[in-house]
A = this chain, B = another copy of it.
Amino acid sequence: MKRNVRVMKFGGTSVGDAQCIERSAEIIARAAQSSPVVAVVSAMGGVTNRLIEAAQRAASGEEAMACEMIASLRTQHETALQALVADPAERSATGAEIERICAHAMNLCRGTALLRELTPRTLAAISSTGELLSARLMAATLRRLGLKAQAVDATELIITDDQYEQAEPLMEETREASRRRLFALLDDGTTPVVTGFIGATATGVLTTLGRGGSDYSATILGAALDAAEIIIWTDVDGVMTADPRLVPEARTLDEISYAEAAELAYFGAKVLHPKTLRPITEAGIPVWIRNSFAPDRRGTKITSAGHRARNGVKAITAIGDVSLITVGGRGIVGAPEAVAKTFAATASARANVLLISQASSQNDICFVVPSKEAGKTLEALRRAFAPDIQHHQVEHITVDHEVAIVAAVGEGMRGTLGIAGRIFSALGREGINIIAIAQGSSEYNISFVVEASAMKKAVATIHKEFGLESAS
């Protein structure tokens, strides 16, 4: 039986206070009239960071301060509850829940303070308190709006490995547990409100899914339930043609492909962490990015195919704080090992290689890493090439700290001639020097390196060149 379920995830700002919760609840209520909805909620904005701070203070012995911080969070949620729900029975029942959840968090802080040691497992447990609370508030609000709704802890649904702070789902087990539990509720006409960010090991120990975790919860559940679509309700109108801080004329895109979303996410558009798309790519479930503060706006739809841009370029992203490293020398000529050695060194340093460009005479290999990883990368390279440097096989390993990567993204660039020419001519006209280029064989990306100081101008120049400020 195809159930036509929609998974709706509400981020921190969309459940930021009573008013936001109210607005989000209305979105759910309206949607639930037409087809079944599974809601996934983040913690109220800022709550998770405060929980982590409380845990750390507990570990350094500040038990009282830690408990006070939890108490303050309890008050915040109780206040929201007062604003959202008038019915005394509901208030009392949900209030008791809030009480219980906060008491547990306090106990964990107390235990941590007694032992002066914060284990990954305990940190995961404390930091997930916010989602436990917001799910209760949302469920109560939905009930007030007349829905049958129930908070469900994702520890019952999402089965993960035991990396407590960066857990990965075991999809088979998750699928089975989620369908059994959630379909029972849906079949009963109940709207489940699931805690985002959280999972549990097969033995029931709570885990967290890492940063971006609530989006991941939504796509994991979407895949597990064969959802019709997934809607990420956030505080922006969708994915934009560029970062509006860099390009004021930037515009929201109607539709992009999974691949484009991954490219954009990667280069800092910060809409969705790339891992988020993994669970739903195969099934081709569409994901919407929509604005819960302006629910009448269309948002951006992310699909397998995307929407083909008129001129091949759909958006521009940039990533600053990166460094260009060059390994070069006569001895590298034609040496199959030099490339292998270089990237064995970067791997051993756990450096994130963002862009590679090696060409021509093989005299030079250049690549880009985040600036904060440049030091350890250089060190690893110097260690790896020490004998070669001694024997003058390698003449230099240098780093250029003040660079940025800019990428033009769009499905179908391959088919459109002259895009590279337009990009680099426009940059040349504006006097922007290109330090390195790496266009892969991918159809949807041209990346290049410029001086950090030229990043903003480079993004704006290309945005304008391709007329991204007006709808395609």
Interface residues of A (CB under 8 A from B): 107-108, 110-115, 117, 119, 121-122, 259, 262-263, 265-267, 274-275, 277-278, 281, 324, 326, 328, 330, 333-334, 336-337, 339-340, 342-344, 346-347, 350-366, 400, 405, 407, 409, 414-415, 417-429, 431-442, 445-449
Which residue from B113, B281, B358, B407 sits with its C-beta under 8 Å from A440? B358
Other-chain contact of A355, B114, B278, B360 (Cβ < 8 Å): B360
A277 CB contacts on chain B under 8 angstroms: 330
Protomer copies:
4
Residues A281 and B360 in contact, CB atoms below 8 Å apart: no
A53-B449 Cα distance, complex, nearest whole Å: 51
Closest 6 CB pairs of A and B: A418-B428, A111-B114, A421-B425, A421-B424, A340-B347, A359-B447
In the docked arrangement, what's the CA distance between A44 and B113, Å?
29
- Complex contact A347–B357 (CB within 8 A): no
A363 touches B437 (CB 8 A): no
Shortest CB distance A45–B (Å) = 26
CB-based nearest B residue for A260: B361
- Is B360 within 8 A of A357, CB to CB? no
Contact partner of A336 (CB less than 8 A), chosen from B351, B400, B425, is: B351
Q: A358-B355, A442-B364 are contacts. A433–B414 as well, Cβ < 8 Å? A: yes
Cβ B427 vs Cβ A425 within 8 A: no
Complex Cα distance A262/B447, Å?
26
10 A-B pairs besides A355-B358, A355-B359, A419-B424 with CB distance below 8 A are A262-B361, A275-B334, A337-B347, A343-B344, A354-B359, A357-B357, A359-B407, A359-B438, A418-B428, A420-B424
Q: A114-B110, A417-B431, A439-B437 are in contact. Are A274 and B334 (CB under 8 A)?
A: yes
Are A326 and B441 within 8 A (Cβ)? yes
A67 CB, nearest partner CB in chain B, Å? 12
Bound-state Cα–Cα, A298 to B267, Å: 52
Query: Is there an interface contact between A340 and B333, defined as CB atoms closer than 8 Å?
Result: no
Most chain B CB inside 10 Å of its own CB: which residue of A267, A274, A359, A366 = A359
Chain B residues, CB < 8 A from A359: 354-356, 405, 407, 438-440, 442, 445-447
Task: Report how far A281 CA is from B395 CA in the complex, Å.
Answer: 12
Question: A351: which B residues are within 8 A, CB to CB?
Answer: 336
B330 touches A278 (CB 8 A): yes
The reply to whether A339 and B343 contact each other, CB–CB distance below 8 Å, is: yes
Q: A336-B351, A336-B352 are in contact. Are A426 and B421 (CB under 8 A)?
A: yes
Q: A119-B117, A433-B414 are in contact. Are A441 and B324 (CB under 8 A)?
A: yes
Across the interface, A428 reaches (CB within 8 A) one of B336, B352, B355, B421, namely: B421
